[in-house]
A and B are shown apart, each in its own frame.
Chain A
């Protein structure tokens, strides 16, 4: 049995919050898990270091497509090593869409994971948060969210710390995860996490294979509350934040209602109506 659990989401959809919640399930006392250690406690599918450790190759000599062709075998090898080392689930953050390579092989290695927690968020709020994170305009980010060939981390003029991650457009990303048949998917709506953090966390943790009590989930929810995460960032910074910008910005849903123009909201709603409806986002 593999130990990998994909924690999959489009960027700025609650992935870090869920990682923090899961990490705090095993927090000692009232000391929260360090947000800057989440990457060490868990993994990242697009880690360049993981790829190089496993393949023995300098990834800077390979094209993004050549790297992608090797990624399924990297995760299979990593899953084998995890199986020899540990019993508990190993959560791996993943912003890649669930795509297939030529030959129909999944980029992420078909059944290499025991499941995927798929976190989704209202795309109108995603646009707002993603624009702030990228230091881009909201219109530029809406363009990205409507682009079926969208990707982040391309190494063209410079080497990026992460491997290229193909996002597809927002709907394509979400549906790629929810409709794939390789691994069981557990859907989490960001808005539901806000409304009942304890219940949503407990359900996701049990899906992942963590043995969790309601008291543990309640403590994790408290230690990972938005204000607690923002306090950590203000005290010690957050390595995943963009330069000179807060990662934990607002944290509550519906900000788009005042921040997006009507035209911007309508662009998103028109492009993603079917997926938004399926996910119960009112239009």
Chain B
């Protein structure tokens, strides 16, 4: 059995999880990943998708020809590679997708964001697929900012009502073009999945988990800006931006869970400083854009670039 730290929890796994932070032998794990048969169908499904079904305490997800996964009560992930499928393939989805869904099944608020630490506080970069979340995290790491997580982060509230952020405790995963643009070839490890062009990139430093929230940036490509532009969503736009950043919202299996998640989104929007970060295509914006983020951290973010 192997042990890992994921979003502040100890995870035991029969399957090696590349890119996750390994732990020494742990006495007790909060959740376990095991290779096992999976019963079909899931009893009492309340929500379904094209390749998954969720019921009370269960989520069955299949990837045709590759693997099936059953998440149980936020405590267990059962993995069954497809006939002729490779365990390496299943492990890639475990590492990146299933752990976020597991956190969600545990009732935690999960955002689709990369996260880094600046002066002991978490800075989040939310965004759609291909927005550049991982690239920004890796570029910030190269500037000496410890990485908290790459794919998702979980949000908790401390006893004093302050927001605490747990990253996913994983290495940034970058495509070839990002690795070349950021000159991170020497830090690049194995492909996330055999044969794909996305690689684990070991950051110089990782942050300890459970940091107070500093700032949230909503990152997106906008070809209209010259380099980048920072703005500030307010009111309902801010709430909507957080709601749009909830990790895999379709998997929230009950109306009560969906309501609670969206109430949490509104609470985050009230408490957290939030900015939009529109960036042009390619990588030319990164130096100037991340300078602005760091300036913003020390004072009011400046508007730079031109529409």
Contacts and interface: CB of A to CB of B under 8 A. Distances in A.
Contacts of B198: 60-61, 159
Contact of A74 (B50, B93, B130, B307): B50
Contacts of B195: 63
B51 A55 contact: yes
Interface residues of B, number: 42
A60 B129 contact: yes
A30 interface: no
17 contacts: A48-B129, A49-B128, A52-B129, A56-B49, A56-B61, A56-B101, A57-B93, A63-B196, A69-B65, A70-B50, A76-B50, A155-B175, A155-B197, A156-B197, A159-B175, A238-B224, A243-B280
Contacts of B64: 66, 69-70
Interface in A54-80: 54-63, 66, 69-70, 73-74, 76-77
B261 interface: no
B223 A61 contact: no
A70 B52 CA distance: 12
A158 interface: yes
Interface in A214-272: 236-239, 241-243
Contacts of B93: 57-58, 61
Interface string B237-251: 000000000001111
A61 B177 contact: no
Nearest to A80: B48
Contacts of A134: none
Given A157-B197, A159-B129, 4 more contacts: A57-B97, A77-B48, A237-B307, A239-B222
Given A70-B50, A76-B50, A159-B130, A57 B63 contact: yes
Contacts of A76: 50
B62 to A, nearest CB: 10
B271 interface: no
B130 A239 contact: no
A55 B49 contact: yes
Nearest to A52: B129
A73 B61 CA distance: 14
